[in-house]
Amino acid sequence: MSEQREKERGLQRATASIVPRPSTEGLLQAWVRFFPSCEQPKPDTPSTLDFFIRFLSSRMRFKRNGSYTLNRKSKTKPNGKKPPAEEKKQYVEPEFTKIRVVDFDLKELVVLPREIDLNEWLASNTTTFFNLINLQYSTISEFCTGETCQAMTACSTIYYWYDERGKKTKCTAPQYVDFVMSLCQKLVTDEEIFPTKYGKEFPNSFESLVKKICRYLFHVLAHLYWAHFKETVALDLHGHLNTLYAHFIVFIREFNLIDPKETCIMDDLSEILCSPVPAPAPSAPAPAPSPSSQNHVTER
């Protein structure tokens, strides 16, 4: 028993040599302050009190004025600077998201019609989206330069271009968009991939190529919102961009053309723009005309 006491006293002395030991009353007050739901330790038991001292010594800072505060993990970086605050996304603010070109359910536009071949429907819509997104980007292309957009960014993501050999290349945003549009133009105009003549079959790789095109087009849309939404608003074209983006997202979701992990960076905007548009409240019926007004005739 005496050997056990000696070990406990040795630990007590080691702790006291590192951190100034406060009074027992102060420790009990600190316990009540930070752990009100826990049972207070009994100071008459040496082993309990020693454990309590070691525990609070490792979790608390003792100030000269006798007050005690818990050690908490600092939110600052090792260099002492606080992490930068997340940039506010202007494009998700209600005053901008409510602006649309159309206000009906876009899902009606993307559902596969009866007696229409799936590949024909995918080809038609993919070609249309390529032309529309290319046109939308051209409206702000003068603001997207190698100096203003040194990388193809969207939110916290940087997109790299992979050539036909799989070589990874970091390029400016205008270079990346040029690569995207050139590739899409090459694919949608290739008669072997996007056939336009009756009776010609689509290749087996058609669906994978459509997914590739849609993934690249999404990168362009994400960059438009992230880097050039202010210019789009200044040109009063954010309603067109919102409608185009919502239409595109509804389309790719309908046919599972892009992995959700790829589009998750824009989920906040997607959920706002793709939510069903509430039906307008029914208007009150017009009052029945009075007999005098029915019989009134205007002479000219």
Known binding-site residues equal 144, 149, 223, 228
User: What is the C-alpha separation between 242 and 96, in angstroms, rounded?
Assistant: 9
First to last CA, the chain: 121
Q: Left if phi > 0, otherwise alpha if psi is -120 to 50, otherwise beta: which for 173?
A: alpha
Sign of CA dihedral 126, 128, 134, 137: negative
Six token digits for residue 265: 């960076």
Among 14, 24, 17, which residue's Cα sits nearest to residue 48? Answer: 24
Please name the helix (run of DSSP H) or strand (run of DSSP E) that holds residue 143, with its range, or none.
none
Q: Are 170 and 254 in contact (CB under 8 A)?
A: no
Surface-to-core class of residue 203, CB atoms within 10 Å of its CB (0-12 exposed, 13-18 middle, 19+ buried): middle
192: nearest Cα among 182, 183, 205, 202? 202
Rounded-to-integer distance, Cα 127 and Cα 6, Å: 83
Q: Which residues are annotated as a binding site for Zn(2+)?
A: 144, 149, 223, 228
